[in-house]
Amino acid sequence: MLNPVVTTAVMNELAGESGVMNDEQLLRYSRHILLPGLDVDGQEALLASRVLIVGMGGLGCPVALYLAASGVGELHLADDDTVDLSNLQRQIAHGSSDIGRLKVDSVAASISAINSDTRLLNYPVRLSGDALLKAVAEVDLVVDASDNFTTRFALNQACYSARKPLVSGAAIRGEGQLSVFDFRRDNSPCYRCLYHEADDAALNCSESGVLAPVVGIIGSMQALEALKCLSGLGEPLVGRLLLIDGINMELRQLNLRPDPACPVCSLART
């Protein structure tokens, strides 16, 4: 039975525009398809896309769930950790029964419950070296939902080398930040333009805490930016850094330009 809001006439019109989606998909993604700038072509681009998400924690959980619900065709999930009781305060794809389970398996099960058509590939390891380069090469976009500079720097280098867009997010205490590094564009800065060196004194959630909805906000925004990059909708957050203070509910946006002294991208530009 058709949803009463999505009329038969609308469904017939959408079906006439789509050469890929079946009737069930047209109904499932109808609220996307009705959006100007996304419509049928954008949704079909999402269905054909592959995304690597590194980190299945507070950021990676909402990213994975929203990308699956939005119809991204294939998700590659990477994390070598298992679910711990302390994760459940914010990592919304895991439940109490998942404690001790690999996070990639727990998230995969949650994704399948939302959208069983989503194709999944799990990496229950910490990707590095050639394995990381291969994993990045096999997808259209990478979401960095990791929690350490070593992984962030390695992802940035791999995405820059492969010319794959990188959606980067971070959150601690009541604050978060978000940016997109789209290496398909010649003028995009990279993550190392923002951070040249690892900050050994950087805060982490296990020591400093984090307000649960803040990681949900940043993760949801990462999913939004990924959808925009994949579908061509709007203007992604390239060359801009969004800073969020969730405690005082303040947002700031800073321009982020390529650094002529960047250890990753400056030589190529020169």
Question: Does residue 229 share a domain with residue 148?
Answer: yes
Question: Does residue 231 share a domain with residue 123?
Answer: yes
* Domain annotation covers residue 44: no
Residue 230 scores a pLDDT above 90: yes
Question: Does residue 203 share a domain with residue 120?
Answer: yes
Residue type, 107: V
Secondary structure (DSSP) of 14-83: HHHH-SS--HHHHHHTHHHHTSTTTHHHHHHHHHT-EEEEE--STTHHHHHHHHHHHT-SEEEEE---B-
77 touches 123 (CB < 8 A): yes
- 251 vs 47: CA distance, rounded Å: 32
Question: Does residue 73 share a domain with residue 13?
Answer: no
* Domain annotation covers residue 2: yes
Question: Does residue 256 share a domain with residue 154?
Answer: yes
Stretch among 24-28, 86-90, 191-195 having the lowest mean pLDDT: 191-195
* Domain annotation covers residue 73: yes
* Domain annotation covers residue 40: no
Question: Does residue 193 share a domain with residue 86?
Answer: yes
- 43 vs 49: CA distance, rounded Å: 10
Strand (E) or helix (H) holding 203: none
* Domain annotation covers residue 41: no
Task: With both helix axes pointing from N to C terminus, report the angle between 8-17 and 39-47 in degrees, rounded to the nearest 10.
Answer: 60
> Tens of pLDDT along 67-124?
999 999 999 999 999 999 999 999 999 999 999 999 999 999 999 999 999 999 999 9
CATH of the domain at 123: 3.40.50.720
Question: Does residue 232 share a domain with residue 155?
Answer: yes
191 touches 259 (CB < 8 A): no
Question: Does residue 78 share a domain with residue 28?
Answer: no
Question: Does residue 7 share a domain with residue 53?
Answer: no
- 28 vs 166: CA distance, rounded Å: 27
Whole-structure pTM value: 0.91
* Domain annotation covers residue 157: yes
* Domain annotation covers residue 140: yes
The vertex-172 CA angle with 145 and 241, nearest 5°, equals 65
Question: Does residue 151 share a domain with residue 66?
Answer: yes
Question: Does residue 3 share a domain with residue 94?
Answer: no
* Domain annotation covers residue 121: yes
> Tens of pLDDT along 29-81?
999 999 999 999 999 999 999 999 999 999 999 999 999 999 999 999 999 99
The dihedral sign for the CA sequence 25, 26, 32, 33: positive
Full residue range of the structural domain in which residue 31 is found: 1-35
Q: What is the 3-state secondary structure (H, E, C) of 254-267?
A: EECCCCCCCCCCHH
Question: Does residue 56 share a domain with residue 2?
Answer: no
The vertex-216 CA angle with 210 and 218, nearest 5°, equals 90
What is the tally of structural domains in the chain? 2
